[in-house]
Amino acid sequence: MLLERRHLSLALVVLLTASAGCAGLLGSEPGASGPDANGTATPGDANGPAPGSSGFDAAAVERGHFETLSDSSFTTSLSFQLSTVRDGENRSVFINRTVAIDRENERALADGELVQANGDALATTTYTAEGTTAERRVLTRGDDTMTDYRSATPPYGGQVQPVNESSVVDRSLLQSLGSDINWTYTGTETVDGDSVSRFEATGSNVTGFAADDAVSTNVSANGTTDSASATVLVDEDGVVRSFQYRVTAERDGRPVTVTLSLSVSNVDDTTVGEPDWLSEAAN
């Protein structure tokens, strides 16, 4: 079954495009663009999808997730890995990103890391508070490390931009969870003390979901999907507390594995402090 190109996460597109290193991993060029992330939530149950076996209410999840988090402090994380074998060697690209939103103190902190197949790594930390955004970038190439500090204030027109709280989980991703995956309810469990509903999907119930446009382009050019699985945990307010996705495929005789992990934690219990390098960015 071909891995179809459908909805994608804007967060991954931005990170992978900035890296300019993912395309070379598989040996062909990624797709150029994706859908607009600023979609409009569809009407749904105002109470959200309470734990139970009634099914995955995509509209309620989309609305509940963003309405709840728009008024709450929270921490959200993304971990992405693309692995294959090239020239007889295992090659992987890693992307990790965490965004912490502190509503009470009006602060936000984003940590991102990209590790390319050759071992080069770029770590970026962005801090926004009191109308100012500061950023630290650490580039590691072999034994060399280069650190750069910079800052900006409104109106933001350059490379330094304020922390975007939707840069990990955006509307296009949540819409894709509802339209491209056929979920099966499997029970309830607890996350951070809150009850959540667990939904799972495997095989052909998952392969309509494309976690990343670059992956879809490379694999679907001449490949098949061997196995796929996904799990999502949704709380009573509709907040997606966890999403796990994995697909194994083959392209031109080479295995390709994609894993994606998303989480939302510390809802109403996230505090952001000033980073210790803040004075460096002000100089």
For the segment 4-58, what is each residue's pLDDT rounded down to a tens digit? 333 233 334 334 333 333 333 333 333 333 333 333 333 333 333 444 446 788 8
CB 196 within 8 Å of CB 188: yes
The mean pLDDT value of the chain amounts to 77
Max distance between CA atoms of the chain, in angstroms, equals 56
State the pLDDT at residue 117.
84
How far is Cα of residue 24 from the mean position of the Cα atoms in its chain? Answer: 21
How far is Cα of residue 218 from the mean position of the Cα atoms in its chain? Answer: 20
Tell the residue number behind the tokens 């009006």, with chain if given: 106
Q: How confident is the model at residue 207 (pLDDT cuts 50, 70, 90)?
A: low
Helices 58-69 and 171-179 meet at what angle, rounded to 10?
160
Q: CA-to-CA distance for 89 and 187, rounded, in angstroms?
A: 41
State the pLDDT at residue 186.
92
Does 102 have pLDDT greater than 80?
yes
Record the tokens describing residue 282, joined without a space.
């002000």
| Residue 209 DSSP one-character state | -
State the pLDDT at residue 204.
78
Q: CA-to-CA distance for 73 and 268, rounded, in angstroms?
A: 5
For strand 254-265 and strand 74-86, is the pairing parallel, antiparallel, or unpaired?
A: antiparallel
